[in-house]
Each structure stands twice: as structure tokens, then as C-alpha cells.
């Protein structure tokens, strides 16, 4: 038999129901660390283990800046090769898995495998058929106005024509990477179906740099896939500050040598000013052979040597091997009133 509540138990239950229930204070999540630091201002962010970010933001910005330089050089090389204006610019720079990169590519396409010596591994360079066939049509004398884009792999002749374009791209890429490391890029294989090529596991992190190529009324995309394990040896050198300073120093030294060698062969006119004086127009009309012009400049004063009309040096007048000569004493300074 169940226990029967008496009147005192009923009164106790009613009294407890009338008292407001105290709010339960939820204890905040604690963050544990080996170092005893203030954890109150720590920002907690979600992390997806399926898509780990192995490249820092500074390194991603350095990669984007590096390939912006490549896009400018590649666009200039294509413009000269195709005899028309070609614009190449960086559209995106992000990191993803290799499986996601392959899943987003069309089939068929121009999928090129690149070797980056002395780095180990391979890179991928994919060029969209939307811009490949207009380039081929331009090379064969067409105007790309009413061009039909076929859905088929490239033929042997078309592949040979596109190799002229990719070779110029590899040259521009080698120049862009010269500030980080001397790398030689070569095409090792070409495939039309990207699903058949697996240079790294599908879950491997890669950096994908997307480019947009415009030629007249035609436009297409180009993607450069860089596996992380390939560029891992040079990741420490990809910091933005070190990359800018290295590129600037190497470029300025190379430019100085190039300008110096070019200017050394340039001929210049050197003249010497013996003295200056003024005469009247009547005296100028009466001048004849044998007349002597008097000046107020002493013979012992220095002469002024001018290079292309600019006063540069002071010299003394003399003779060398039965010929009039001048010996340079010093350069003209601002305090000289010449």
C-alpha cells in the first residue's frame, strides 16, 4: 500500500511550490593552457579538421602579391606574342583540398603538370577551353568573333600551339619566383581529364591561385595549384616583408648594372670654356684674321669643362705631345661661381 500524505506533508509541498526557484548560474567554459596567462580575452574560433589551414595569412598575401607580378609579366608577353591586348589578373588566392580543386574543374580542359626544380613534387596549371580556343584561333589568323568552343580534348596540333603560350607563362613565373628562390619550371605531362591525375592525396592542402585572362571580347580562367608539401621548404621565406625587401634589392642591383652598361656606350660632347667677354656688334663686324681678343680672365685661372652643356670639371691648360691639352683638377661644386 502506498504511503498516504497527511496534512503536514501537503502544507510543506504547497509552501515549497510558492517559493520562486533560484536561477541556475551556468559556469563559463574554461580554457586550459600550459602557460599561466590571462585567458579572459582569448578569441575562440571554430576549426574544421577536414580543411586545415596550413598557410598563414601573411604567406597567402605574399603569394598573391608574387603572382600579381607574374600576371603582369605574362599579360605583356602574351600581348606581344598574339599582337593584341591581353589582360591577365589575379582573381582569387585561397587554400583548399586537392579533391575540392579537381572537383571544380571542367572536363575536358588543358591540365598541365609542372616540375619546379629543385623543389620536390609537381604543380598543376589548368587553362580553361574558353580562352584556349580563342588563342588558337588568333594564332591561326582568325578574329575570334563567331568562334565555337568544342567539347573535346585538344588535338596534337592544338597542344603544340598552346605550348608556345604556356612556355611564356613558365618564363614569367620563373622571373616572379626569382625573389624567393631560383626555380626552373618545366611541363612534365599534359592531360585533358583532370580526374585522371592525382599528384597528392585528395585531402592534401593546396594553394590555388585563380587568374582571369581577357583577350578582346573573349575571357577565360587559369588556375595554378600549388601543393603545400612542394613549397613547404620555402614557406619561411614567403613572409611579406622579407619578400618585398629581397625583390627590391635584387631588382635595384640588377637594374643599376644594366643601366650602367647601357650608359657607358653612350657618346657625349665635351667642351672647354677658355674665357668669356663682350664686344659690340660693330667690333664683331670688323673682326679679321689675326685680331686679338682681350678678356679680363688671367691665364693662371682654371678652365671650365662642360659635358653636354653642363659645367662639370675645372682644368688647367697645357700641352701634350705637341697638342693643346687640359688636365682635370677637380669637379665643379656649388660654391664655384663659374
Average pLDDT in the 301-316 region? 87
* Cis check: omega of the bond before 24, within 30 degrees of 0: no
pLDDT above 90 for 4 = no
The reported pLDDT for the residue numbered 145 is 73
Q: What are the Cα distances from residue 202, in Å, to 48, 89, 199, 209, 233?
A: 16, 28, 9, 18, 21
- Is the pTM above the cut of 0.75? no
Average pLDDT (171-196) is 88
Task: In whole angstroms, give the CA distance from residue 110 to residue 128.
Answer: 7
Q: What is the pLDDT of residue 240?
A: 47
3-class SS of residue 330 = strand
Please list, in sequence order, all residues whose beta carbon lies within 8 angstroms of the beta carbon of residue 208, skipping any fewer than 6 positions away: 92, 93, 94, 95, 96, 101, 223, 224, 225, 226
Over residues 256-304, the pLDDT tens digits come to 888 888 888 888 888 888 888 888 898 888 888 988 888 888 877 888 8
The region of weakest confidence among 20-24, 99-103, 122-126, 178-182 is 20-24
Q: Give the sign of the dihedral formed by CA 137, CA 138, CA 142, CA 148.
A: positive
pLDDT given for residue 308 in this prediction: 86
List Cβ neighbours of 223 (8 Å cut-off, separation of 6 or more). Answer: 101, 105, 124, 125, 126, 208, 209, 210, 211
Q: Provide φ and ψ at 157, rounded to 5°.
A: -65, -45
- Residue 221 and residue 125 in contact, taking contact as beta carbons nearer than 8 Å: no
pLDDT attached to residue 51: 57
Cell of 16: 515549497
Write the pLDDT tens digit of every residue in 107-119.
Answer: 888 899 999 888 8
Q: Give how far Cα 14 sits from Cα of 6, 8, 10, 21, 178, Å.
A: 13, 10, 6, 14, 84
**Quick one: cell of 20?**
520562486
- pLDDT for 205-263, tens place per residue? 899 999 999 988 888 999 999 998 888 888 777 754 444 444 455 566 778 888 888 88
The residue count of the chain comes to 338
In the chain the domains, ranked by start, together with CATH numbers, are 57-258 (3.40.1550.10), 270-331 (2.30.330.10)
Residue range 124-182, pLDDT digits in tens: 999 998 999 889 888 888 876 777 888 888 889 988 999 999 999 999 999 888 888 88
Q: Rounded to whole angstroms, how far apart are CA atoms 46 and 313? A: 71
Higher pLDDT, 48 or 13: 13
Per-residue confidence at 1, pLDDT binned at 50, 70, 90?
very low
Amino acid at each position: 500500500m502506498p504511503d498516504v500524505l497527511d496534512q503536514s506533508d501537503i502544507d510543506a509541498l504547497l509552501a515549497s511550490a510558492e517559493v520562486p526557484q533560484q536561477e541556475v548560474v551556468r559556469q563559463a567554459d574554461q580554457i586550459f593552457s600550459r602557460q599561466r596567462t590571462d585567458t579572459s580575452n582569448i578569441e575562440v574560433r571554430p576549426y574544421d579538421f577536414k580543411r586545415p589551414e596550413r598557410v598563414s595569412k601573411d604567406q597567402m598575401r605574399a603569394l598573391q602579391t608574387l603572382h600579381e607580378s607574374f600576371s603582369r609579366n605574362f599579360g605583356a608577353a602574351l600581348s606581344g606574342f598574339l599582337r593584341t591586348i591581353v589582360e591577365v589578373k589575379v582573381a582569387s588566392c585561397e587554400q583548399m583540398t586537392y579533391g575540392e580543386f579537381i572537383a571544380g574543374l571542367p572536363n575536358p580542359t588543358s591540365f598541365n603538370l609542372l616540375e619546379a626544380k629543385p623543389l620536390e613534387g609537381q604543380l598543376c596549371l589548368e587553362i580553361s577551353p574558353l580562352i584556349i580556343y580563342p588563342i588558337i584561333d588568333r594564332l591561326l589568323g582568325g578574329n575570334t568573333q563567331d568562334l565555337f568552343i568544342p567539347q573535346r580534348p585538344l588535338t596534337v596540333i592544338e597542344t603544340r600551339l598552346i605550348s608556345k603560350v604556356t612556355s611564356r607563362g613558365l618564363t614569367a613565373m620563373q622571373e616572379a619566383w626569382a625573389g624567393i628562390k631560383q626555380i626552373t619550371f618545366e611541363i612534365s605531362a599534359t592531360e585533358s581529364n583532370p580526374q585522371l591525375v592525382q599528384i597528392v592525396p585528395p585531402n592534401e592542402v593546396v594553394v590555388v591561385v585563380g587568374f582571369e585572362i581577357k583577350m578582346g571580347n573573349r575571357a577565360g580562367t587559369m588556375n595554378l595549384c600549388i601543393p603545400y608539401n612542394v613549397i613547404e621548404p620555402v614557406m619561411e621565406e614567403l613572409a611579406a616583408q622579407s619578400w618585398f625587401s629581397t625583390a627590391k634589392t635584387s631588382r635595384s642591383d640588377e637594374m643599376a648594372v644594366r643601366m650602367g652598361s647601357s650608359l657607358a656606350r653612350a657618346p657625349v660632347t665635351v667642351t672647354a670654356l677658355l674665357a668669356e667677354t663682350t664686344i659690340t656688334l660693330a667690333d664683331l663686324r670688323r673682326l679679321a684674321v689675326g685680331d686679338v681678343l682681350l678678356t679680363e680672365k688671367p691665364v693662371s685661372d682654371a678652365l671650365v669643362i662642360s659635358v653636354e652643356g653642363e659645367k662639370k670639371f675645372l682644368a688647367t691648360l697645357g700641352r701634350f705631345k705637341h697638342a693643346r691639352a687640359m688636365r682635370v683638377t677637380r669637379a665643379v661644386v656649388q660654391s664655384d661661381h663659374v
